[in-house]
Amino acid sequence: MRVYNKTSCMVKPASQTWSGKLALSELDQTGVTTHVPTIYFYPHSPDDWLTLIQTLKTSLSSILVHFFPLAGRLSVIPGGRLELDCNAQGVQFLDAYADMKLVDMDTLLPSPVYHQLIPSIDYQTTPLEETPLLVLQVTRFVCGGFSLGLNISHVAVDGQSAIHFVSEWARVSRGEPLEAPPYLDRKVLRAGDPPMTSEVVNHEEFGPPPVLIDPSDVNERDNETTVTMLKLTAAQVAKLRNKANESWKGETGRGFTRYEAITAHVWRSSCKARNHKPEQPSALAFCVDVRSKMRPPLPQKYFGNAIVDVIATGFAGEIVSEPLGFVSSKIRDVINKVDDEYVNSVIDFLKNQEDLSQFRELIPTANGDEGRFYGNPNVGVISWLTLPMYGADFGWGKEVHMGPGTHESDGDSLILHGKDGDGSLVVALCLQARHMEDFKKVFYQDIDMMI
């Protein structure tokens, strides 16, 4: 596929917005602080392509009046902290053409083609203060269909907030009024305030992750990775949950969720595929949405990051040999500990740090270092099951597919709803190429063997 005639412009808020420095919460400052790619595919567009482009630009300009932080820029302040300058510099809008039909694409799922459909961010050459928080590309295919690829800063928003923005932009694009304005004051997560206590609780999730006890001569970072999409039918999902629940219901007796059972299975499969020794420590990293866990709960449509990164740990031997319910219970135990007191202890821990930059992942530095490595022997499993991902109609019909862009970090995975609405789920997984075929084999064989 060839993408050509690509043009670029900055889209700014349609009217004057508040300007100044917006204090970010500690939950905005840590974790994955690069941009997160997503993509939407649509089968139809108007005959006049310029009408679509102008409609999208005009509606984007209008919605940025309400979501004006996205039109700003980040900067680093003392203590390695980030600050959001609401300066209305705008978001980057690209439009392009592709020389193929949507139906001729091998798949709408993540593939190298995405690199041409979702604009990338060059962190090495573009200063942070000049990097847009949102870059997007609209690409028309020869059949009249089009794609909308977005790359949005994870410092500015989490998944819930990003979907909220896209949903409201779509409403305005099709001529409807704003439904729910964003709640922009991040002080509800004590942004800019001093710590509530000087007592620092140690949070192991901010420490160095486990490393291989028998490393090879090759740096694990340098190994080639590949991406796959593993579909789980509704029957397979039920099988995993039943297997986890038959052997272990924990102290509460409450059955394990789909996420807990599937994530336990991914963790176990990774240990098997990587052929870890029984004594090999392994960490499972994931995040928990805290909107409803705070007391009082965060305001509806809170716009920012309202997630905490957590880890479950274990040894490969127990992860592989113990019942699936045992592994699921490790995940459940971590989720259960995330309450208002826990979240505030995380915030206090981070506020007491002299330099927050040490806790940021995957922002390349001048020498090419990408921070802490969370790949082999570890995995990360993020759930998109609670996100209202589908139904973004900009005026020409709903998408035929929406999903994550390419991700190339060893061990990273996402759990998504299948697009058919039949109860199926999809695990989007990135793994070192040398381990991928073994992973797929044990992933499905172990399910097939479950009674």
Using alpha carbons, select from 385, 409, 277, 272 the residue that is nearest to residue 327.
Answer: 272
Catalytic residue selected from 35, 154, 203, 435 = 154
Long-range pairs for 69-73 at CB < 8 Å and ≥24 separation? 69/22, 69/133, 69/156, 69/184, 69/303, 70/133, 70/134, 70/152, 70/156, 70/157, 70/165, 71/12, 71/13, 71/17, 71/133, 72/22, 72/133, 73/128, 73/129, 73/130, 73/131, 73/132, 73/133
CA angle 327, 350, 387 (to 5 degrees): 50
User: Is 420 among the catalytic positions?
Assistant: no
Are 102 and 41 contacting, i.e. CB atoms less than 8 angstroms apart? yes
Catalytic residue selected from 393, 401, 438, 446 = 393
User: Is 393 among the catalytic positions?
Assistant: yes
Q: What is each CA distance from 409 to 370, 413, 427, in whole angstroms?
A: 11, 9, 15
> What letter does residue 102 receive in the DSSP assignment?
G
Please, is 202 exposed, middle or buried when counting C-beta atoms within 10 Å of its C-beta (0-12, 13-18, 19+)? exposed
Q: What are phi and psi of 342, to 5 degrees?
A: -65, -45
CA 390 to chain CA centroid, Å, is 16
CA atoms within 13 A on the CB side of 103: 4
Question: Which positions are annotated as active-site residues?
Answer: 154, 393
